[in-house]
Amino acid sequence: MPIGTTKLRDGRCIPNLAFGSGSALRGKDAYESVAAALRTGFRHIDTAQLYHNEDSVGMAIKEWLDGDLGYESRGSEKHVIGNSPTFGLSSNKREDLWVTTKYGGGDQGPYEELKNSLKRASPLQLEYVDLYLIHNPKLIHGDLVDIWRGMEQAKKDGIAKSIGVSNFDAKQLSDIVKIAKEVPVINQMNLHPYIYQSSLDTLKFCNENRIIVEAYGSLYPITQYPDGPVTAALIEPQRRLNATAAQVLFLWVRAKGAVIVTTTNRSERLVEYLALGKLGPLYQAEVNAIDAAGAIPSSDIESNVWLVTKIDPTIPHLRHILKYRRFISCIFIFQATALTYFVYIRNLRSASPNWETMVCAGSVTIFFIASILLTLIRRRATARIVGAGANV
């Protein structure tokens, strides 16, 4: 397994590096990306009901198990890719692959929703998943006990080998532990040096209760703030290990005892991430230096950290706003410019401005403020959903 495994409190061992089908793949056909990850050597695939691509993820997994990933594409006409190491082989075993999916808050509850995910026609075409998580505490509608009992039933019936949660803080984890017959084995959460200090309570609770952390969004410092203090702290371990900045950040995650979840559409990145197993660990002094760099105050970073905890990326309307953010921004700018012309060039030249002038002036101010707010939302939400290979 890439860079080893971590033993969970239920005795099972989870691979320390996962390829996620969220982030940029969310809502898209993930077949090619997941197939490339499996061909390259990833043996831990992370998906979710809310990603709306379990079907294409399942197809890639099925073809890997059947030894058919030597085909260039799906369909009636398939072409072999060179001497693909997986083409035509039947030695790939289900037990050699770790598959995670997440409960998306569906009305049927976690048990029935997982059964839907496992249907052979679609989407996952599997008999079980290795790990089943509650995607977000905000998706728990109704009684927490009933939801968790559904998760426990999924494990009891063998359709989920292990169960856990995602995006839970210390208080929410405590609520689960108090009522659980089966304590969550995993808490998947956003983790990188800039929010490490604010995550300490959650990390401490996980450690005390033998709940393993899975970290997504760990490349945030180099994808969103490449000129930030953390980037500078990565230079020395990069030189010592002959490693990339991304590899050093992943080694930082491993130094915190967390499992890595990442994603990419670039084949060279897949190779780079898997090469992590050839590198040695960070020195404690290097880990401390990265921690210290991440704790340096920055108003811009802190504003994005606010969004990490306050904005729910599963809200469809927010994602639509982000998709058309540039178009909406242009409208705001055009309206503000037009109103400024009529107000300040035409009306305010009048010796006796009337109430219409005042309304126009107020509108200009409102549109100007709205444009600024939209820009802030764009920066924060883009960093939250897309940044750092996030896999929310």
Write out the catalytic residue numbers.
51
Distances in Å between the Cα of 362 and the Cα atoms of 340, 350, 378 are 10, 17, 24
- 214 within 8 A of 190, measured Cβ to Cβ: no
Residue 262: what are its φ and ψ, rounded to 5°?
A: -145, 175
Chain centroid to Cα 9, Å, comes to 24
Q: Longest C-alpha distance within the chain, in Å?
A: 87
Q: Which residue carries 């590198």 as its tokens?
A: 279
DSSP string spanning 233-296?
Answer: HTHHHHHHHT--HHHHHHHHHHHTTPEEEE--S-HHHHHHHHGGGGSPPPPHHHHHHHHHHHTS
- 226 within 8 A of 385, measured Cβ to Cβ: no
Rg (CA), the chain: 24
- The candidate with the shortest Cα–Cα distance to 270, out of 68, 39, 92, 76, is 39
Residue 94: what are its φ and ψ, rounded to 5°?
A: -60, -35
Identify the bridge partners of residue 99 per DSSP, sorted by sequence position.
45
Residue 329: what are its φ and ψ, rounded to 5°?
A: -60, -40
Q: Measured between alpha carbons, how far is 376 from 363 in angstroms, rounded to an integer? A: 20
- The candidate with the shortest Cα–Cα distance to 92, out of 69, 72, 75, is 69
Distances in Å between the Cα of 288 and the Cα atoms of 149, 231, 272 are 40, 14, 24
Q: Which residue carries 């289900």 as its tokens?
A: 94
Cis amide leading into 313 (omega within 30): no
Residue 84: what are its φ and ψ, rounded to 5°?
A: -55, 130
Going by their DSSP bridges, the two strands 160-166 and 129-134 should be labelled as parallel
Q: Measured between alpha carbons, how far is 241 from 244 in angstroms, rounded to an integer? A: 9
